[in-house]
Chains A and B, each alone.
Chain A
Amino acid sequence: MRDKLRKWREENFRNSEQIVDVGEELINEHASKLGDDIWIIYEQVMIAALDCSRDDLAWSCLQELKRQFPDSHRVKRLAGMRLEALERYEDANKLYDSILQDDPTNTAARKRKISILRAQGKSSEAIRELNEYLEHYWECFLCSPFFLSLSFHSHSYAKAAFCLEELMMTNPHNHLYCEQYGEVKYTQGGLENLELARKYFAQALKLNNRNMRALFGLYMSASHVAASPKVSAKVKKDNVKYAAWAASQISRAYQMAGRGKKENKCSVKAVEEMLESMQITMS
């Protein structure tokens, strides 16, 4: 059970109901055998309990942590999260402000304050706070999926692109960032961005050839470039080739998926017809 919790912690899964089930049992029945691991388990279970509206469990975990680490900023942040879950945003903010008074570089407290703005629907204020923070502490923040999700949320594609560029630099083998970058470029539109999108979708496929989003992305961006009146004959020819390759890979993947499974025949047929109809528009 311990190992399950550790795996979920390390891989950042948010399967809160499972964590509460496993964690609660572990804490109630086997606390004495956990040694020092118990503190990080209390933290993990507490956060999951907040997710599942189990304030009773969250409260008891928090008490144990407060008792063991009375002056800890990390525990204070957890207390703040509990207040957020109870929608007592002003009280939570006061707590985070007191952490920031002691330690103005505390990223976790900053993030929580910005999350509160987001929960209250104040996304433009959230972005403003983020930008202010970035002026002083940008290194810590830019490589952050948190900033990325905020950029998407507020339709700030240029910021999202910038953030993904940082994330790709620090995580060069992550196919998801390449693919998301392709999607952002595609969304921004224009011939140059479409060509860039195609390259990044291709890169994502190199890293993981089963990324269907990247495969479809490659197909669509190459098709659009090929259909553009502004490209040279050579560029058109190359992109037709890329699109054709992507289409054949998509077809193959769907044929394999459709084998023997009656239930997804509809989705398989829809894809086949879509590929056929797009071929017609391209030629």
Chain B
Amino acid sequence: MGEVELSCLAYAKMYLHASQFPRCSVNGLLLSSSAAGGAVCITDCVPLLHTHLSLAPITQLALTQVDVWCSQTQQRIVGYYQANACASDSSPTPCALKIAEKIFEQCNNAVLLMIDGEKMFPGCRVPPIVMYERKDARWALKDKHTIMLRQWEETCSIVNQLFSSGDQALLVDFDSHLDDITKDWTNQKLNAKIMELVSPANGNV
């Protein structure tokens, strides 16, 4: 199918989310601020849960709220990501497939992204992600050559900088927001920090 481009901002936040809760499964939504049609540009993500991913109410609540926020900010939900608690297992769980299906109903080039825990170490040469797309009524592995992560080395260095400055602790997911609703699940502060680090020459959001 089509090409998928993953921005530094989206990648960095997913990575931070998985790193913040190493013993839990975590998930979140992938967003795009570009128009539908053509390549899918994942420009941002919203980290959702780190507890009880398979329970419905909070997932439904989060999906509704993110939907509302997207319409307020001209973004669309274009995919779903998940990192399993068991690092050696990067296969989609039933709940991952269910949520991805729901997203596919609204977005016909939706992607399902699984984070590969085993590749999450400093100096790893390949992005720790496995992507799936909807093909022939099932979710199939996407051809690696259609997935683009521009400025991969710069992205890695930005993630390292976030860890060394302690800014990774700024990340708020929806679960943490429910524990303390003064925390912002849209992560405006962290987004600003990351965008500062993204080089102006990059042009890519």
A residues lining the B interface (CB < 8 Å): 14, 118-121, 152-153, 155, 180, 182-184, 186-187, 189, 197, 212-213, 216-217, 220-221, 253-254, 257, 261, 263-264, 266-267, 269-271, 273-274, 277-278
Contacts and interface: CB of A to CB of B under 8 A. Distances in A.
Contacts of B189: 263
Given A152-B55, A155-B94, A186-B56, A274 B64 contact: yes
Contacts of A186: 55-57
A187 B69 contact: no
A267 B184 contact: yes
A273 B183 CA distance: 18
A274 B68 contact: yes
Given A152-B55, A187-B54, A213-B178, A266 B184 contact: yes
Given A266-B186, A277-B68, A119 B86 contact: yes
B89 A155 contact: no
30 contacts: A14-B23, A118-B86, A119-B86, A120-B86, A121-B86, A152-B55, A153-B54, A155-B54, A155-B94, A180-B55, A186-B56, A187-B55, A187-B56, A187-B57, A212-B179, A213-B58, A220-B61, A266-B73, A266-B188, A267-B65, A267-B69, A267-B181, A267-B184, A269-B72, A270-B65, A273-B68, A274-B64, A274-B65, A274-B68, A277-B68
A121 B88 CA distance: 8
B144 interface: no
Given A263-B188, A264-B184, A217 B57 contact: yes
Contacts of B57: 182-183, 186-187, 197, 213, 216-217, 220-221
Interface string B52-87: 101111101100111011001100000000000110
B177 interface: yes
Contacts of A257: 181-182
Interface residues of B, number: 33
Nearest to B71: A273
- In order of increasing CB-CB distance, the 7 nearest A-B pairs are A187-B56, A264-B184, A270-B69, A266-B186, A121-B89, A183-B55, A257-B181
Given A213-B58, A267-B177, A274-B64, 11 more contacts: A152-B54, A184-B55, A212-B181, A216-B58, A253-B181, A266-B72, A266-B188, A269-B69, A270-B69, A270-B72, A270-B186
Interface string B152-185: 0000000000000000000000000111011111
Contact of A183 (B52, B177, B184): B52
Contacts of A213: 57-58, 178
Contacts of B95: 155
Given A121-B88, A254-B181, A183 B72 contact: no
B173 to A, nearest CB: 12
Contacts of B182: 257, 261, 264
B46 to A, nearest CB: 11
Contacts of B185: 267
Given A183-B57, A257-B181, A273 B72 contact: yes
Given A187-B55, A216-B61, A270-B65, A264 B183 contact: yes
A264 B58 CA distance: 19
Nearest to B189: A263
A70 to B, nearest CB: 32
A154 B130 CA distance: 22
A183 B186 contact: no
B80 to A, nearest CB: 17
Contacts of A253: 181
Interface string B89-100: 100001100000
A206 B30 CA distance: 36
A189 B177 CA distance: 25
Contacts of A152: 52, 54-55
A168 to B, nearest CB: 16
A266 B185 CA distance: 9
A183 B89 contact: no
A213 B176 CA distance: 11
A268 to B, nearest CB: 9
Contacts of A212: 178-179, 181
Nearest to B186: A266
A182 B66 CA distance: 23
Contacts of B69: 266-267, 269-270
Nearest to B56: A187
Nearest to B25: A153
A270 to B, nearest CB: 4
